[in-house]
Structure 1
Amino acid sequence: MSTRRLRLLSANIQAGSSTRGYHDYVARSWSHVLPAGNKRGALDAIAELAGRHDIVGLQEADPGSLRSGFTNQTHYLAERGGFAYWSHQPNRRMGGVASSANGLLSKFEPREVANHALPGRVRGRGVLLASFGNGEAALTVAVAHLSLGAQSRRAQLEFIAELLGDHPHAVLMGDFNCDPDRPEMQPLYRHTRLQPPADCVPTFPSWKPQRAIDHVLVTPALAIATMQALPAAQSDHLALSVELDVPERAFE
Structure 2
Amino acid sequence: MHTAGTAGRSRGEGARVFRKGTRVLAGTMFAVFMLLVGPSAPSGALFVRSLPVDAVGEIVPNRVMTWNICNPCDVSNIDRAADIATYAPQVIGLQEACVRDVERIRNYLRSFYGLDYHVRYGTVLQDWGRCGGVPWNPGGFGQAVLSAAPMKDPVVVEYPDGGSEDRGYLAVTTTVGGRSVRVFNTHLAQRQQESFRAAQVGVLAEAVARHDRAIVLGDFNAVPDAPELGPLWELAEDTDSECRPEPTGPCEPTTDWHSKFDYVFLRGFAAREHRVQPTPYSDHHMLHTDVEPK
Q: What TM-score does the superposition give when structure 1 sets the normalisation length?
A: 0.74
1:98 aligns with 2:130: yes
Instruction: Report if the CA contact (8 A) 1:10-1:239 is conserved.
Output: yes
1-side partners of 2:277 and 2:188: how far apart?
21
2-side partners of 1:49 and 1:124: how far apart?
32
Q: Deviations over 1:97-132 (max 9, x none)?
A: 214321110101112211111132345111010113
Can you give the 5+ residue segments of structure 1 that lack an aligned partner in the other structure?
18-30, 32-37, 64-71, 248-252
1:238 aligns with 2:285: yes
Q: Deviations over 1:182-205 (max 9, x none)?
A: 100112233xx2125522321111
2:242 is aligned, of 199, 209, 214, to 199
Q: Which position in structure 2 is the counterpart of 1:118?
A: 159
Q: Deviations over 1:22-44 (max 9, x none)?
A: xxxxxxxxx4xxxxxx5244334
**1:233 Cα deviation after fit:** 4.2
Give the 3 Å change call, closer, same or farther, for CA 143–237 of structure 1 in structure 2.
same
Q: Which position in structure 1 is the counterpart of 2:273?
A: 226
Instruction: Report if the CA contact (8 A) 2:147-2:174 is conserved.
Output: no
Q: Which position in structure 2 is the counterpart of 1:217?
A: 265
Rg larger for: 2
2-side partners of 1:83 and 1:233: how far apart?
24
Q: Deviations over 1:145-184 (max 9, x none)?
A: 1101100100110000111114221111111101122100
Instruction: Report if the CA contact (8 A) 1:16-1:40 is conserved.
Output: no
Residue type of the alignment partner of 1:107: A
Backbone CA RMSD of aligned residues: 2.3
- Secondary structure in structure 2 of the residue aligned to 1:241: strand
- Secondary structure in structure 1 of the residue aligned to 2:149: coil
- Secondary structure in structure 1 of the residue aligned to 2:237: coil
Instruction: Report if the CA contact (8 A) 1:59-1:103 is conserved.
Output: yes
2-side partners of 1:43 and 1:138: how far apart?
28
1:7 aligns with 2:63: yes
Residue type of the alignment partner of 1:217: F
1:42 aligns with 2:58: no
- Secondary structure in structure 2 of the residue aligned to 1:211: coil
Instruction: Report if the CA contact (8 A) 1:45-1:232 is conserved.
Output: no
1:88 is aligned, of 100, 103, 121, to 121
2-side partners of 1:43 and 1:212: how far apart?
21
Can you give the 5+ residue segments of structure 2 that lack an aligned partner in the other structure?
1-59, 110-114, 132-140, 244-251
Give the percent of matched residue pairs that are identical in Structure 1 and Structure 2.
22
Aligned residue pairs total 206
Q: Deviations over 1:52-106 (max 9, x none)?
A: 111000011122xxxxxxxx11222222222331011222445x32143211101
2:107 is aligned, of 79, 82, 88, to 79
Q: Which position in structure 1 is the counterpart of 2:9?
A: none
Structure-to-structure mapping, 1:52-201, within 5 angstroms:
52-63=88-99, 72-81=100-109, 82-94=115-127, 96-99=128-131, 100-120=141-161, 121-122=163-164, 124-132=166-174, 138-148=180-190, 149-190=193-234, 193-196=235-238, 197-200=240-243, 201=252
Q: Deviations over 1:210-246 (max 9, x none)?
A: 2111010111x30100111113442001010100113
Instruction: Report if the CA contact (8 A) 1:15-1:73 is conserved.
Output: no
Q: What TM-score does the superposition give when structure 2 sets the normalisation length?
A: 0.64
> Runs of 4 or more off by more than 4 Å in structure 1?
none
Residue type of the alignment partner of 1:241: H
